Amino acid sequence: MAAVMSRRALACLFAAARPRGGAPFASPRDAPLRWLSSAAKDLPARDPRLFCVVGSGPAGMYAADRLLTHYGASARVDILDKSPVPFGLVRSGVAPDHASTKSVVNRFEGVLSDPRVCFFGNAALGRDVSVDDLTPRYHAVVLAYGATGDRTLDVPGEDTLRGAISARRFVGWFNGDPEAHGDDVETSKSAGAKNVSLHDEITACLTRHVSDVSDDADVSHENTATDAPTAVIFGLGNVALDCARVLLRDVNDLRETDICAAAFETLERSAVKHVALIGRRGVAQNAFSPKELRELLNLPDVDVRVYDDAVADLDEADLEASRPRRRAREAMEKRKAKGNETNEMLTNGDTLESIGVGRKNKTKTRKELSVRFLRSPSKLVARDDDATSLGSVILEVNELSGPPGKRRAVGTGATETIRNVALALRSVGYRSKPLEEHFTVKSHHEPDREPDREPDRFKQSVPFDAARGVVPNAFGRVTQSVAPAMGGGEWQVPGLYVVGWLKRGPRGIIGDNLIDAEETIGALVADDARGKLRKPDYRFKNRGVKTLLEARKKAFVSKEGWRLIDAEERRRGAEFGKPREKITSVSEMLRVANEGG
C-alpha cells in the first residue's frame, strides 16, 4: 500500500530516513533529490499516468495542459475545484471591461473538453477530500488553489466597519462570485461584526448619500452636504486600477460586459464620484502596468489629479531600474502635458482639501480620480451617525528611507483626513492560506457537513511557509523542512507538486502561469523519468477521486454539468446583449448542472 502522507506518517518517514542535510535544489532536472519514502516504482511507459490538479484557475489549467502534452495518450488528469464552475480568477478576478484578457478561457475550454480530463467542481480539498485521500490515488497531485486571502493593513476599523473591504472581495463582487452574492450566507458575510452579505454592504455604501463630518481630525476640510462621497483605494497595483476603473467609468460602458447584473444595478445608482488612490511609497515605486494606468488616466469624463510629491532626485535610481515604473511615471507626466482643464498634475504643497473632496466642477456625470503618494492609513473612522459604517480615513504622511531599490515608507507622524468616505478598498496584495484555514465555516449548502468536527479525516499535510505565504517548493516540487534534531534540511514530499500563486506568491499576469507550469511539470516529468513518482494504490483501480466523491455522496459538477451552466449563463446574457449573465448562487449552479436551465 502506498504511503498515506498524514503529518504523523511524514514524521515517521523523516525519522526512518535519517536525513543528513544538504544544499537546496539547483535546477528542475539536476536537483539532488532525496526521498522520504520508497513508494515510487518504475512504471512501464505504456501505463496510464494518473494526475490530480487541485484548482482550475490559470495555474491549474496550464498545468493540466502541460501534463496532457508531456504524457500524450497515457495521461489521465482529474481537475478538482472548490467552485462548481472552472477557471478561477479568469472568471472571478479579471475586470469585466477586459474581455480580451478573458479570451484565454478558449484554450482552457479545450483542455477541459479533452477526453483524458475529468472535472469535479464543487469538490474542495480540505472540505470534501483530504490530501491523504488524493495522494494514494494518483501518480502525482499538483496543487493550484492559488491565493484566496488578502494582506491586511493592520489598522483600526479595517475588519469591523461596513465599507472597509478588500479589493479581492470587491472584484469578486462585480464578477458575480457566489461568496459575495450567493445564498451561502455564512461565507458571504464580511469579517468581524458585519452581519450583512457583501452585496448588501457594498450597495449600502455606494448608494448612501454621505454627508459625514467627523471631528477626529487634525486637518480640517470643508466638505459640504452636497459633496459626493469618496471611495479610497489603498495600494498602487493593477487590482487597485481595476477597482478604480470600475468605480469611475461610465456605467453604460459596462452594460454589455459580463459584469453581474446585481453589481451593475448598484453601480448605476452609485453616489461615489471621486476615487482616491493612495500609495504608501512614491511614484517611482508604483506596481502599475503602464498600459492599465494609461487606460485609467484617460477615461472619458474623469478629472485626474496626480499629487506628484514623491519623486525626489534620489528616486531616479528606482525609476531607472524598472522600465514599467518609468513608463507608468511617463503616463502621468503625459497626462500633465495634455494640460486640459479636466486633468491636473499637482505638486508638493498643494492644499490637503484637494484630497478626496472632489467638489470642483462636479456635475452629475463628471467624476474625479486623485492619486496620492507617500500616505498610509493609520485609522478608519466610523460615521458620526452610524458607528458601524465607515465615514472617514486618517492617513499618516510618509517619507522614504533606505537605498535605491529598497526604499521603505516611514511614517513622519503628520496626519491628514479624508472625509465623506463611503468605501475603502484594501488593495495591498493577495495572500495564500494554509489549507487548514480554507474551511473554517460551515457550508450552507451541506448542512450535514461539519468539517471542523472531523479533524482527523480532514487533517492536512501540505507544508506551508507562513512568512512567504507559499507552499515551500523547489521548482514546483513541494518540500518540507526537517527539524535539526532529525537531520535538518529540505526534503521533497513525494507525489506533491505546486504551481501558480501558491508556489511563487501573488504576482504576475495570467500568461506567467504557462512558464510556471512548464517548470513544475518539467520537474514532475524529470522525477518520473527517474522512477520517482508515487505508484497509485492498486485497490483504487485507477479510478481517481470519482468513486470516493460518489461514496461520500458529494454533489460534484462534472464537465457535462459545467456545459449546462455555461449554456444557461450564455442564454441569460444573450437576452441583454451580454456574453453571459453569471449565476451567482452555488445552489442554483448545482441545480442547473443537474437539470439544465
The binding site for ligand NAP (CB under 6 A) comprises 151, 153, 234-240, 242, 279-281, 285, 287, 289, 292, 376, 427-430, 506-509
Minimum CB distance to ligand NAP, residue 537 (Å): 39
Give the bridge partners for 377, in sequence order. 395
Q: Work out the number of other CB atoms within 10 angstroms of the CB of residue 507.
A: 13
Pick between residue 126 and residue 282 the one whose CB is nearest to ligand NAP. Answer: 282
Contact partners, residue 57, CB within 8 Å, separation at least 6: 87, 88, 89, 90, 144, 146, 500
| Phi and psi at residue 380, to the nearest 5° | -105, 125
Pick between residue 40 and residue 198 the one whose CB is nearest to ligand NAP. Answer: 198
Q: Determine the residue with CB nearest ligand NAP.
A: 237
Pick between residue 199 and residue 281 the one whose CB is nearest to ligand NAP. Answer: 281
Q: How far is CA 491 from the centre of its chain?
A: 29
Q: How far is CA 463 from CA 7, 48, 267, 565, 579, in A?
A: 9, 28, 42, 35, 40
DSSP 224-289: -TTSPPEEEEE--SHHHHHHHHHHHS-GGGGTTSS--HHHHHHHHT----EEEEE-SS-GGG----
Minimum CB distance to ligand NAP, residue 201 (Å): 21
Pick between residue 429 and residue 500 the one whose CB is nearest to ligand NAP. Answer: 429
Minimum CB distance to ligand NAP, residue 404 (Å): 14
Pick between residue 131 and residue 471 the one whose CB is nearest to ligand NAP. Answer: 471
- 128 SS3 class: coil
**Closest of 114, 55, 113, 106 to residue 85, by C-alpha:** 55
Minimum CB distance to ligand NAP, residue 278 (Å): 8
C-beta separation of 75 from 44 below 8 A: no
Contact partners, residue 200, CB within 8 Å, separation at least 6: none
Minimum CB distance to ligand NAP, residue 446 (Å): 31
Pick between residue 92 and residue 427 the one whose CB is nearest to ligand NAP. Answer: 427
Minimum CB distance to ligand NAP, residue 155 (Å): 9
How far is 4 from 11, CA to CA, in rounded Å? 12
Minimum CB distance to ligand NAP, residue 203 (Å): 24
Pick between residue 501 and residue 562 the one whose CB is nearest to ligand NAP. Answer: 501
Number of helices followed by number of strands (H, E) in the chain: 20, 19
Pick between residue 489 and residue 506 the one whose CB is nearest to ligand NAP. Answer: 506
Minimum CB distance to ligand NAP, residue 95 (Å): 7
